[in-house]
Structures are given as C-alpha cells and as structure tokens.
Amino acid sequence: MKFLEHLPRFAFFTGKGGVGKTSLACATAVRLADAGKRVLLVSTDPASNVGQVFGITIGNHVTAVPAVPNLWAMEIDPQAAAQGYRDRIVGPVRGALPADVVKGIEEQLSGACTTEIAAFDEFTGLLTDGALVERFEHVLFDTAPTGHTIRLLQLPGAWNSFLEAGKGDASCLGPLAGLDKQRAQYKAAVDALADPRRTRLVLVARAQASTLREVARTHDELARIGLEQQHLVINGVMPASESAQDNLAAAVVRREQAALEAMPAILQRLPIDQVALKAFDLVGLDALRQFFTEAPAVNVSGPPASPLEAPGLAHLVDGMAAPGHGLIMVMGKGGVGKTTLAAAIAVELARRGLAVHLTTSDPAAHLAETLAGQTDHLTVSRIDPQAETQRYRDEVLASKGKGLDAQGRALLEEDLRSPCTEEIAVFQAFSRIIREAGRKFVVMDTAPTGHTLLLLDATGAYHREIARQMSGSGVRFTTPMMQLQDVNQTKVVIVTLAENTPVQEAAGLQADLRRAGIEPWAWVVNNSVSATDSRSPLLRARAAKERPFIEAVARQHAQRYAVVPLLAEEPIGVERLEALVRRP
C-alpha cells in the first residue's frame, strides 16, 4: 500500500460516510502495531464504532487495546465536546444579557460549525502535545478536520471585538467566540497539518462517480489551504472474479471500472491504492489483519435468501402526488444517490401529468447527464453557488458594510469568505424557488443541511422582521422557514445506504432538522443488495449484513420508508428513472 510507505507521525483518514475510513484506520493501526510501532488511534467520528471493532469500551481518554501490544485508542465525542464548548461560552453571559439574546447565542451555537470547532478544539491538543508526540510513533485520526473548519480557524483574531460591537451577524463566527486565547495552539496545529514531514492525509472513497467527485472537491478544498500531502484509497472495489458468478456482480465490476477510468484528473495525480470489497464485517483482529490481503473465495451454503420485502419508491411517490403540488426536498450526505432519486421522483410526478420544477445546486452537467433527455411537464434549473454567493456578499457589504471603517469592512469581507456564506446564499436562492410550490411540485436536490436551516432560523432577521411587522395586523403571512416547517407544504426525504455510518449520519441530519422545527417525511434506503436476487456469494454475504440497518430505518428512524435495489444498469435517462420508481 502506497499510503503506508514512509508514513509520517500523524495520519488523517477522511471521506464521506460509509466509504470505510474507520475500517481503514483500524486496520492501519493494527498493522503498524504488529510491526512494533507504538500507535495511538483517535476517532472524532460522531458514529464512531472503533470500540466495537476491537470489542472493548473506549472513551475520551487514551485506552490500551489489550489484544494488540503497542496499540492505544481514544474516542472524542463531538456532541459532548460541543455541549461543553457551548457551556463555556454561554455560561458567563447567562443572567447578564437579556433572555432573548442568550437564546439567540444558543441557537447560533447549535449547528454543525460548533460541533466541528469543538472536536477540533479537543484534538488540537493531541497535535501540539510534546509529551504525546514523544510517547507515540504514529497518531492516526479517524475523520480528519474539514477544510471548512480549518478556514474558520484561520479567520483573523479581531472578529471577537467585531462581534461584540454587533457588526458581524453573518455566518460562522458565532461558534468561534471565545477562542482567542487558544489561537497560538490552533496555529501550531494547522501548521502541523500542512507539514508533509509530519502529516499525511488519506482520502478514502468508493469506485463510484459521485463519490469520486465528492473526494475531488475535498482534495481541492484541503490543497487550497496548504494541506497538499494527500493519498487516495479506493475502498470496497468489487473483485473481477465475481463477474463469472452473477450478472449483477458483472455489471457492478463494469460500472466501477468505468468510474475509475473517468476519475477526475486532480485525483489521478495522487498516489492511489485499491482495496477489494470484503464479504465479512471488519470487526475483530482477524478481520482487520485480512483487510490488506487478497480475500479468499467466499463460500455461502444453502439457497439464496428471498429478496427483501419492503415498500418501493412508487409507494412514496403516491403519497407525494396526492396534494397535487408542494415542495419535496431530497437530502442526504454525499455519495448516497440523492441526485438520482430526486430526478426519479420528478420524472415520475411529471409522467403522471403533474407540473414539476426540478432544481439543484450540483453542477448542471451532472443533472443533465442523469436525465439524459426531456419529458413533458418537467422543467429543470440549476442554482449556481458561486454566483449566488457573490450576490449575497454584495448585498451584505452594501447594507452591513455601509458606514464601517476600513478595519470593520475588512473583517466583514473576511467573514463573508467563510464556508457558511455559500450555504446561506444557496438557501436564499432556494427560498426564491420555494414560492412556486404553491401551484406546482418543486423537487430540490442537494438541499441545504440542517446546519444551514438552524443558521437561517437563528439569524433569520427576515422571518422575525416580517413576524414583528405583521403582529396584530390580522394579515396572514408565510416565510420560507414557516413553509419548510409545514408538513402539508413540504416533504423532506432523507436518503441513506444500508450501512452503519450512513444510517447514523442520516439520523444526525434528522435530529438537526427537528431542532429547526422540520419533521422529515420519509427515508429512502438506496442501492440495497438485499432487495435483489443476486447469486454472487460475495453479494449474498453483503445482503445479509444489510438487514439490521434496514430494520433500524423501518422501526427506529423513519415514519415511512422505501428501499431501492442495487441495479445492474445505472438509472440514467428518463426511461430508466421511471423504471426505478416502478420497480417492486
């Protein structure tokens, strides 16, 4: 494995949910420890299962792994860290400021920015702890800090007084309040991340076009801020030997190879490793020690299990179509297939003779490629994030920046370069389209995150100002946030995969939405092997592993759900999208 050659002291494993970064990090830790290296494995994943992998309980402290000499582990709980962080910031002002102001601060600190900053706050100490560096030859991090977080930490220190003066109610700065005393430590941590002699970033992906596009964006984002020492690991690649066993497996092999050949050029220049798809769960030392080896042929005794009996996508579309119009927001993490499902829902509604507007903030070519044609009653648009962000920045500078001195304007401009600015700008563009849902269907792909919705509500001057102006007037009014919170007008569909991390991340997204007063309408489990009749031994073994996660979606998380099978042919083009919905 190329990424293991001359591995520096620090290694970060980053990637979207479900790509296998925890398995890769754990297997790497065991391999290094077996070679006699003293290793610390640190997880900052909210859905961390490092303890489960090793069969022990691991908390927020360095814990020896008894079965592996030279290996220690710890799990940073981002939610607990975020709560402690909020308490440190809000505690001193509680009782000193009006209750509505304190509530506003708490709302601003309830989103994903705070969780990221708090987790980074926890492990920057590990990066800069001299004693720890002396104790361990390698420190491996499962779930690296995002470029988003690092860019926030690089904002100038003067924003603290800027916020206190009431000039900067913009985007992500609230969660950063009170960090000024630790800026030297953060700078040292960022410097360590950017030093290739000390740190290596391992991008983990699957052999899927959408996932590779996501990881290319991550690579570019991190490289722009100086984190250029990156390796790429393509995990879970279907062995070509399975092609002889099953038509579905053969189709997956062809599709993955095509995705790898069309990999973005920016990734092709990186050192690349491939890891074959395994039939077994990567739990326990035996499994971890087989991670980097060629897996033996899978033997599955007995006849294939019956395909999973679960509601299909058509069942959900029937419920969506009933009112005749409305907003449908398809949400989920990268790589779960939400663009395809949004397009399939829009095409099916249009096939039924209903007027539909399908919109996305993904690149237009991707959506056009998915549709690969036109259909009656369907219009398609694209929101350009860069154009919308520039429009939003210009508006804020013209209003909030008016009358500021040079330093104040410079700080406001710096704040407007933060990642949250794009999220707000795109959401405002979405808000303009939302109004159409009163007379037709509007299907939104790449919907704003729960973080953005909370941010909009917390800093939603528009909503509060309208409510204040209309109070007591007897005039009925509706803001975009009110429409999103009304289940009769908006149906939020969360997309996931039948794997541990994607389900946990989808549950976290649902919790974010509920904090914003938005109740998800349904879940869709996409690309399910257990919903097929595959005879491939490897896929049959994988199908058996999916069942508990589908059961968890059905019984614990979703009010209603559907399962979409893994398909031999990608659902590209109107005809295949229609078939995707109607497939049992």
Residue 300 lies inside a defined structural domain of this protein: no
Q: What whole-number distance in Å separates Cα of residue 538 and Cα of residue 402?
A: 63
Q: Which helix (H) or strand (E) holds 491?
A: strand 490-497
The total number of residues written for the chain in this structure: 584
User: Which of 271, 287, 303 is the last residue before a domain boundary?
Assistant: 287
> How many domains is the chain partitioned into structurally?
2
Same domain, 349 and 479: yes
Separation CA 1–CA 113 (nearest Å)? 34
Question: Per the domain annotation, does 125 fall within a domain?
Answer: yes
Q: Determine how β-strand 272-276 pairs with β-strand 230-237.
A: parallel
Q: How do 39-43 and 138-142 pair as beta strands?
A: parallel
Kindly state whether residue 276 falls inside one of the protein's structural domains.
no
321 and 194 housed in the same domain: no
What is the pLDDT, as a whole number, of residue 44? 75
* Residue 461 falls inside a structural domain: yes
Q: Are 123 and 43 in contact (CB under 8 A)?
A: no
Q: What is the pLDDT of residue 112?
A: 60
Distance CA 480, CA 518 (A): 12
Q: Where are the alpha helices (DSSP H) in 263-312?
A: 265-268, 285-289
User: Which residues are 441's β-sheet partners?
Assistant: 326, 356
* CATH number, domain containing residue 67: 3.40.50.300
Q: Phi and psi for 243 in degrees, rounded to 5?
A: -60, -35
pLDDT at position 304 is 58
- Nearest alpha-carbon partner for 43 in 65, 58, 55, 54: 58
Kindly list the catalytic residues: 18, 20-23, 45, 501
Q: Which residues contact 574 (CB under 8 A, 6 or more apart)?
A: 347, 371, 372, 373, 374, 375
Residues 494 and 512: their CA atoms lie apart, in Å, by 12
Classify residue 353 as exposed, middle or buried by CB count within 10 Å of its CB (0-12, 13-18, 19+). Answer: exposed
Burial class of 154 by CB neighbour count within 10 A (0 to 12, 13 to 18, 19+): middle
Assess if residue 542 is contained within a domain.
yes
Of the residues 270, 287, 304, the one at which a domain ends: 287
Quick one: pLDDT at residue 460? Answer: 46
| Residues 122-133 as b or e (16 or more Cβ within 10 Å = b) | bbbebbbeeeeb
What is the C-alpha to C-alpha distance for residues 21 and 359, in angstroms, rounded to an integer? 32
Q: Are residues 337 and 198 in the same domain?
A: no
Residue 181 lies in a domain: yes
Q: What is the extent of the structural domain holding 474?
A: 313-385+427-582
Q: Which residue intervals of 352-400 are DSSP H helices?
A: 364-371, 385-399
pLDDT digit of tens for each residue in the chain (584 aa)? Answer: 899 999 999 998 988 777 888 889 999 999 999 999 999 999 876 556 787 778 788 877 889 998 899 999 988 877 777 787 778 778 777 877 787 777 767 766 766 667 767 777 777 777 788 887 789 999 998 875 555 556 555 554 554 454 455 554 445 555 555 555 566 777 787 788 888 898 899 999 999 887 898 889 888 888 887 888 899 999 999 998 888 878 999 999 999 999 999 999 999 999 999 999 888 777 778 888 888 887 655 555 555 566 688 999 999 999 999 999 999 999 987 778 888 999 999 999 999 999 999 998 765 456 777 787 788 999 998 888 888 889 988 888 888 788 888 887 877 787 777 666 777 788 788 888 888 888 999 999 875 666 566 556 544 444 555 555 555 556 665 667 778 888 889 999 999 999 887 898 899 889 888 887 889 999 999 999 999 888 888 898 889 889 999 999 999 999 999 999 998 888 888 888 988 897 65
